[in-house]
Amino acid sequence: ANGGFDYFLEECLDYLTSIHFVLMHIEENRIDDIIEESKRILKLIPFEIKPYFQVV
């Protein structure tokens, strides 16, 4: 980790996402692929996270 909060947040979110697939016994390399693809898709969709769990 580079000590930055954003990097730590990304690691935390990756872990929270991957744990569901680990519990479903999905192969680790497939989990990595799913996470990378989801990040790519999120970059394509303009959205903003607002207070009170509002996503716009």
Q: Which tens digit of pLDDT belongs to each residue from 14-31? A: 999 999 999 999 999 999
One DSSP character per residue, the chain reads --S-HHHHHHHHHHHHHHHHHHHTT--HHHHHHHHHHHHHHHHHS---EETTTEE-
Determine the pLDDT at residue 56: 66
Q: Span 27-53, mean pLDDT?
A: 88
Determine the pLDDT at residue 36: 96
Q: Is the predicted pLDDT of residue 3 greater than 70, yes or no?
A: no
Q: What average pLDDT does the chain have?
A: 85
